[in-house]
Amino acid sequence: MTDGDTTAGTAGAGPLDGTLVLDMTRALAGPHAGMMLGDLGARVIKIESPTGDDSRGWGPPFLGEGDERESTYFMSANRNKESITLDLKSEDDRDLMTRLVRRADVLMENFRVGVLARLGFSVEHLHELNPGLVILSITGFGHDGPEASRAGYDQIAQGEAGLMSLTGIDEPTKVGVPIADLLAGMNGAFGTVAALYERERTGRGRVVRTSLIASIIGIHAFQGTRWTVGGEVPGLSGSHHPSIAPYGLFHTATSPIQLSCGSETLWQRFAPALGLDADEARFATNGDRVAHKDELIEVLGAIFAEKPAEHWLELLTEAGIPSGKVRTIDEVYDWDQVISQGLKVEVDHATKGRLALPGPVLRLDDNDYAGARREHIAPPTLGQHNESIRRWLDETEADGPGR
């Protein structure tokens, strides 16, 4: 796509086709939310400072050198977007921002509490400009409360919200992806769609708020109720489930495998397949197996170590036991099942040519393309659409007032 092009009117079919999103966010949580909306057909205009989204500098790896260097990190969260650079301390750029707000359906921001208001765009002012505007605000620790002013970074949130206390073997360990950011983005996109649906009835936009810590606490699931209901403080669970056994990772003679006996029926099939007595007192029920989990893992570990992974996976499949490999990232993107689900897409980048990206997680109906788009748009270069967005505003304003 060249600077003279724009995604306006070319988003393709999808439930959010015709929806204009202003993405003022940077780094990962907000950009991920904006990308999800873009995947579903929204037109997403990424509003960046003249120096760009922080994640443009996060690497290596990078593609290219000098002024044409592009961060692969940035590319992970910014497909299906346009980029315009604005300095909101400039009167001209604030005026352009005002024009965009009047046309928009959604505005997304992840500044610290109060920053957007200091830039001249408080919630009250935004809704004066556009009463139907849905505003998504993502913070680190929530928009109010005693620690609302703290900056939000993923690993800090993983620790503060308890996730690291559950993850690892010898010490608290972060998840291998920025899970707090990603979940906050997913929750933000979900809340935004709900607010757009409500606006169809009320005609007015809401402020949707979520945070990194809320998003981590929201996935505590049974680990949370172990404490709130059961009075038990969970600890590190390593590669085995704390409440189901056997359920976890085992080393074979070649490479690790994983399996799950999530019911007594599965255990009754699993045990004899490995030459064990399913009714032995230590292991007869799930409660027994959890109580004697270390012994069970030791027994199974000795058995699995005798033969290669392929042997065990074939045996477990024949017995109807859920099991699988532990794949490396390169193996994942070459896996035919991943490709069949549209989880790898190809895009034409403005300066880097044809690129492969991780794809959208949703497919609509029985279509054979990912998300709601037949074609995806590459992450934009910084300010790639400065001129085309200005031209679009001039043309559409000539046709009449916005929303």
Supply φ then ψ for residue 52, to 5 degrees: 90, 165
**What's the pLDDT tens digit per position in 180-210?**
999 999 999 999 999 999 999 999 999 999 9
**What's the pLDDT tens digit per position in 81-92?**
999 999 999 999
Task: Give the model's pLDDT for residue 370.
Answer: 57
**What's the pLDDT tens digit per position in 161-179?**
999 999 999 999 999 999 9
**What's the pLDDT tens digit per position in 253-282?**
999 999 999 999 999 999 999 999 999 999
User: What is the pTM for the complete model shown?
Assistant: 0.92
Q: What type of residue is 110?
A: N
CA distances from 280 to 96, 300, 355 (A): 73, 14, 55
d(C-alpha 403, C-alpha 400), whole Å: 10
Q: What type of residue is 18?
A: G
CB-count burial class (<10 Å; 0-12, 13-18, 19+) for 84: buried
Determine how many CB atoms are found less than 10 A away from the CB of residue 283.
Answer: 23
- Return the DSSP state at 165: G
Task: Give the model's pLDDT for residue 375.
Answer: 85
Catalytic one of 23, 53, 154, 181:
181
**What's the pLDDT tens digit per position in 49-95?**
999 999 999 999 999 988 889 999 999 999 999 999 999 999 999 99
d(C-alpha 30, C-alpha 107), whole Å: 11
Higher pLDDT, 313 or 342: 313
Q: Contact at 8 Å (CB) between 166 and 226? A: no
Determine how many CB atoms are found less than 10 A away from the CB of residue 32.
Answer: 23
pLDDT band at residue 369, thresholds of 50, 70 and 90?
A: low
pLDDT band at residue 14, thresholds of 50, 70 and 90?
A: confident
**For residue 394, is pLDDT > 90?**
yes
Place of tokens 């794949």: 327
**What's the pLDDT tens digit per position in 323-333?**
999 999 999 99
CA distances from 305 to 250, 277, 309 (A): 8, 19, 9
**For residue 141, is pLDDT > 70?**
yes
Average pLDDT of the chain to the nearest whole number: 93
Q: Is 21 helix (H, G, I), strand (E, B) or coil?
A: strand
Q: Is position 181 annotated as part of the catalytic site?
A: yes
Domains along the sequence of the chain with CATH: 20-219+336-399 (3.40.50.10540), 256-325 (no CATH)
Angle CA(60)–CA(72)–CA(29) in degrees, nearest 5? 110
